[in-house]
Structure 1
Amino acid sequence: MEPRRSGAAAADSAAVTTAQGAVSRGRIAGRRLAGRRRGAPSVRKALALVLAVVVLVAAGGCASIPRSGPVGKSQGDTAPQAKDAQNYYPQPPTPGGSQDSIIEGFYNAGSSDADDYQVARLYLSQSASTTWKAEVGTLVYRSAKVERGAKANEYVYDLDLAYEVDGQGIVTTHPKGTHRRVPLTLAQVNGEWRISQLAGGTVIPQDVFQRRYNPYTLYFYDPSFRYAVPDVRWFIRGSSTATSIVKAVLAGPAPHLKGAVVSAFPDGTRLAKDSVPIVSGTAQVDLTAELLQSSVTDRHRMLNQLTIALRAPASVVSVQLLAGSTALTMDGSDSVVPPILNATVPSWQVSVLQKQLGIYDNNKAERVKGLDTAEYNPRNPAVSYTQDTFAFLNQQRSALYMASAGKTLKEVLDGTELLRPSFDPQGWVWSGNSGTAGGKLTAFNSDNAFGPAPPASVTLTPDWLRGQTVKDAQLSRDGTRILILTGSGEGTKVLIAGVIRSADGTPRGLTTPLPLSDGKNVTQGAWVSDTQVLVANTSGSGAESPVLLSLRSFQAQELSDVVGLRGISVGNGVQDIYVQTATGLAQRVGNTWVQQGAGVKDPKFAG
């Protein structure tokens, strides 16, 4: 197997803590598996002023693409730390070096970007050194060997390719045994072999990648500019990191987020100078001159977007925006509030108590007043972020109902093996058919669910989902992404797709997904944070280990075994994980499971 605190006050508290640089939040886990609404206006206005000046420091960068690697027992969402990242000194070519040694030496030197890859360029002929563009991307290999080509002085570097990092830091992973052949031509220069023809980019071994590259989180906005949506990239840790981050932000979101998120920066915005200098802790971001025509609102959104992205490099304390070397004035704007990072959920969970919907909080359970659901024998309930609308399935999973205290229950969907419902913060509840009849998802607008007419609904059938057996589908707490589990038998794909919406928030499509894992059989998933999910096999037989998959780590993190695991639920972070068994509910404390909540079934936090 490889590979949020409660209510508006909590959201404001989280945002304040973030703006003060006191909270570190955290995409890459193993490929083989291996809010509430608005907060207090006064707080948010204060935050706008704080973020216009302060950059968050010492907060860990998030990443965004789970990859292959062994599963290990772990306590949380941690990114691999670069070792000797600032002190890597590759060797220059030695006199009389063989052709093989020149090739291997060149690619080893490509692990250091110091002085524009100065050492690596020593292995190239003068013309090749001038034209070689290292920044176009990096190939990361498990093993490599030099092979002779068809003609004299032609060679091929044959790689067992592990990862592919493009020029924007987006990682694509490859299974073991994926070969990539990199052609080169050598020539003698003053009696020494040098590389005279080669493709752009660098090639490095996997262990060097793990030492030299770190995950950093870019942020984009949901279309309402309410939430900051993470987009994890991988860059060499060093003096060029801030420049790489800004260039990637300006280039736009990763493919799985395109259409689901927006940027404050207009298309085509570029750096006026090919660097982002950091002077006395201030990152000076000089952009193309047309931004002088930007509005105050847009400027604040741009500043916020770069501020939270540049918090990871420890030397950055604040950000200054310039356009054509002219400092942009940042007049106050009451209309601009900092986006919510890592949105939270209320502390209580909806559940089932003796065939009635219940509320479970602080080890106590009580029935939802004003609702009688006994005749429906409910299962898999969900509750909206506004905490006043519920959805649940009947015991046979053949009907989806929506309910609200004091209002009539309403059936909104029938079928076979329906998916457990999930609310997004925009007020839509999602479900669909699993099994062989799957391949589509349906969302219902809860705002008009209880009138005489059926609620507005949208059915999505993306090409990549057709014919798939969908096991679970859960919306992220920013509403821009959906976690989908597909597969059958012992194999499950864990995917994250972007949710494309109309201007009024109506879902209208899903992006091509980002694979998080592909391997072990899992049946339920839950969001732990904006960059981490929990998946598990909830069949109830034997002992199963829930698994954490992170967008910012190569390694899946396996939790302690649970005997008879029947369900999972997650609140705000890894310290807020619950599992259901035949004997009741248990919470994760440290690396053990503490029993509580006898009689509580199918608990689920808002969403």
Structure 2
Amino acid sequence: MGADREGRGRRRHARVTAFATGGVLVLAGCASMPDSGDLRDVESTPRQETQVRVFAVPPGEDAKPQDIVQGFLEALTSDDPDYKTARQYLTGDAAKTWRPEVSTTVLTDGPGAKAVGADGREDTGEMSYMLTGTKVATVDAQQSYAPATGAYGRTVHLTQDDKRQWRIDALPQGVVMGQSDFQRNYMSASKYYFASNTAEAAADSQPTAVADPVYVRRRVEPVKQMVNSLLSGPNRWLGPVVRSSFPTGTALAKNAGALTPDDRNRLTVPLNDKAAGVGTNRCEEMAAQLLFTLRNFSPTVDSVELRAGGTELCTLAREGADAAAFRTTARPPNFLYFLDGKHRLVRTSVGNGTETDPAPGALGDGDTALRSAAVSRDEHRAAGVGLDGKALYVGSLVSGGSLGEPVLRSAGPSETDRLTTPSWDADDGLWIADRDPDDPRLLLLEEGKGEPVEVRTPELDGRIQSVRVAADGVRIALVVDKGGKKTLLIGLIERDERADGQPDVRVVELRPPTPELEKVTTVSWAGDSRLVVVGREHGGVEQMRYVQVDGSTPDVPAPAALSGVKEVTASEDDQLPLVANSVDGIVRLPSGAQWQKVTEGTAPVYPG
């Protein structure tokens, strides 16, 4: 529960004290309220800079019920680590049973509050207030974000204690606050686990890191929050397809204290006895998880030392993390690929150049005209769909190589009813959908060859129009058409083996990260847990935006507007420019710049 400080209604009078400590500005504020009338929406102060810390003050002497409710809501938007001030607005019993960590509900504006019920008079010694608003999102006990809609309505009950002071004695579990306060108080960060369902995992080779985005309180020991969140395990959605190298039950040691890098940027992490005795390889995987998780925090963590039972388990530097586990951004692409005016595969440097060359191999210098293509992540092979959409070809990116017969054919009656653009995962699996109305299928060609595996999609309602598999091999983005509405869904890839020894692959747990978009044109992965999406809302205009896999909006500038976007592609390496096919041809968006034309062509793709 909390107060959004950009709400509407009367401007309240506020007493704010500011002082500096250790270079950090600290604010302490308390709001006074009218002595009569309904409680209005709690208003917002302007969004503060990240170095500003806000602390609430305890309830005043003889504070009225309205003051208690608002003071409590304000206290929940402060930077009090354990909500100690907020608990002072509660009775002793309520303070013991209230669990703010179970959830955070985000509203468009701060919660409104109004006295309700038969006990709505102060002279009865009891008061009830209804908190109301419109939901935007929820953050659960695992700190996972999910979009939400609909009305919010919860009741808080107040009573007078032995000293005739008003206190809240009944309230909902969790926290509620408005969107601007949520953005000021919380930050998105990703913790990392390892894929458990890929060929690499099965072969016991270098594990692949998978991002699990969470929201933590921005100025309340975020490093320690992230370490605790990592140790607690992946979120329920991602859990079936990932694993952690930390032994079950591993947690920070009871005397861990604050987690701060030393003057060499080394972070020492003391663990409980569950981690004692792990081998060097496993310990280095544990340290790699921590280094991936904390890589964007300040001050920078350059190395991690893990300890348990007073003994050092291992120490790992950033460079060692890349040797212990694979992250998608550790393999930046060499080229950007697209189709030229003759529908052949060409490529250009991922830098700022505009010179293009035919891609080596039959797809670049052969006679087969293509409508779309995809390049494997190691840039050794490419796949292309013929101009009419009927046939899928796979060839090596080596000069002089022959193309051979198609590896897949579609019997769809029209071009829009045939094969989609293909997509490669990190294990050289080639994914594609056949849009044939009589036999719509999602297909996987292991290593880009052999008999296609039909991927089961038991929860799918509609026909797949676009396929983009994540580099980690455990998540997949699908654009699905149902009744003319094209929506984006993110699913998990589960793998097993049937009794006859054949692979059993399925996409499950589909969820929409952009439920407000009803016509998605194109989508691409743009980071470990981020996508770039082009689409439009009902009655709206086409827009391009970044979105996290959990449905939240990342704290990065939205792409500059671009007209007539047909395709968009991005690299998991966010240092590389966004590239699109628009009415102006192939264009790119370097960081901090406007769209720039590269050349004429269609169907741009980074490897993947």
**What is the TM-score with the length of structure 1 in the denominator?**
0.75
- How far the C-alpha of 1:472 sits from its partner, in A, is 1.2
- How far the C-alpha of 1:533 sits from its partner, in A, is 2.1
Kindly report which structure 2 residues correspond to 1:238-317, keeping only aligned pairs within 5 A, or say none: 238-273=219-254, 276-278=257-259, 281=262, 283-315=267-299, 317=301
Matched, 1:525 2:523: yes
The match for 1:462 is 457
Secondary structure, aligned partner of 1:305: helix
The match for 1:347 is 335
Sort the Cα spacing of 1:559 and 1:136 in 2 relative to 1 into closer, same or farther, 3 A. Answer: closer
Distance 1:273 1:439 in 2: 55
Does the CA-based 8 Å contact 2:411-2:436 persist in structure 1?
A: no
Distance 2:144 2:316 in 1: 35
Secondary structure, aligned partner of 2:519: coil
Matched, 1:388 2:369: no
Sort the Cα spacing of 1:280 and 1:295 in 2 relative to 1 into closer, same or farther, 3 A. Answer: closer
Paired residue type of 1:458 = V
Secondary structure, aligned partner of 1:524: strand
Instruction: Provide the identity percentage.
Output: 22
Distance 1:427 1:605 in 2: 15
Deviations 1:246-285 (Å, cap 9, x if unpaired)?
2211222223322222211133323332755235635443
Distance 1:372 1:163 in 2: 47
The match for 1:594 is 596
**What is the TM-score with the length of structure 2 in the denominator?**
0.75
Sort the Cα spacing of 1:313 and 1:239 in 2 relative to 1 into closer, same or farther, 3 A. Answer: farther
The match for 1:162 is 136
Root mean square deviation, CA, Å: 3.6
What residue ranges of structure 1 are gaps of 5+ in the alignment?
Answer: 1-79, 450-454
Higher strand share: 2
Secondary structure, aligned partner of 1:230: strand
Kindly report which structure 2 residues correspond to 1:443-522, keeping only aligned pairs within 5 A, or say none: 443-446=444-447, 449=449, 455-465=450-460, 467-487=461-481, 491-502=485-496, 508-518=505-515, 519-522=517-520
Higher RCO (CA-CA < 8 Å; seq separation 6+): 1
Sort the Cα spacing of 1:243 and 1:582 in 2 relative to 1 into closer, same or farther, 3 A. Answer: closer
Paired residue type of 1:145 = A
What residue ranges of structure 2 are gaps of 5+ in the alignment?
Answer: 1-45, 120-125
Paired residue type of 1:380 = S
Deviations 1:102-134 (Å, cap 9, x if unpaired)?
122212212235252121111111222223222
- How far the C-alpha of 1:603 sits from its partner, in A, is 2.8
Does the CA-based 8 Å contact 2:433-2:466 persist in structure 1?
A: no
Kindly report which structure 2 residues correspond to 1:140-219, keeping only aligned pairs within 5 A, or say none: 140-141=106-107, 142=109, 143-149=111-117, 153-175=127-149, 177-219=150-192
- How far the C-alpha of 1:514 sits from its partner, in A, is 4.6
Does the CA-based 8 Å contact 1:547-1:556 persist in structure 2?
A: no
Kindly report which structure 2 residues correspond to 1:421-440, keeping only aligned pairs within 5 A, or say none: 421-434=422-435, 440=441
Does the CA-based 8 Å contact 1:439-1:461 persist in structure 2?
A: no
Larger radius of gyration: 2
Matched, 1:135 2:101: yes
- How far the C-alpha of 1:501 sits from its partner, in A, is 3.6
Deviations 1:555-586 (Å, cap 9, x if unpaired)?
79654444443333334436522222466423
Distance 1:505 1:322 in 2: 44
Distance 1:106 1:537 in 2: 41
Deviations 1:39-89 (Å, cap 9, x if unpaired)?
xxxxxxxxxxxxxxxxxxxxxxxxxxxxxxxxxxxxxxxxx9963665212
Paired residue type of 1:391 = A
Kindly report which structure 2 residues correspond to 1:358-373, keeping only aligned pairs within 5 A, or say none: 358-361=346-349, 362-366=354-358, 368-370=360-362
Secondary structure, aligned partner of 1:250: helix
Paired residue type of 1:88 = V
Moved more, 391-400 or 295-304: 391-400
Distance 2:90 2:479 in 1: 47
Paired residue type of 1:178 = A
- How far the C-alpha of 1:421 sits from its partner, in A, is 0.6
Does the CA-based 8 Å contact 2:394-2:403 persist in structure 1?
A: no
Sort the Cα spacing of 1:155 and 1:445 in 2 relative to 1 into closer, same or farther, 3 A. Answer: same
Deviations 1:521-556 (Å, cap 9, x if unpaired)?
222111222233222359xxxx95533334673579
Distance 1:308 1:150 in 2: 55
Number of positions where the alignment pairs a residue of Structure 1 with one of Structure 2: 516
Does the CA-based 8 Å contact 1:522-1:536 persist in structure 2?
A: yes
The match for 1:580 is 581
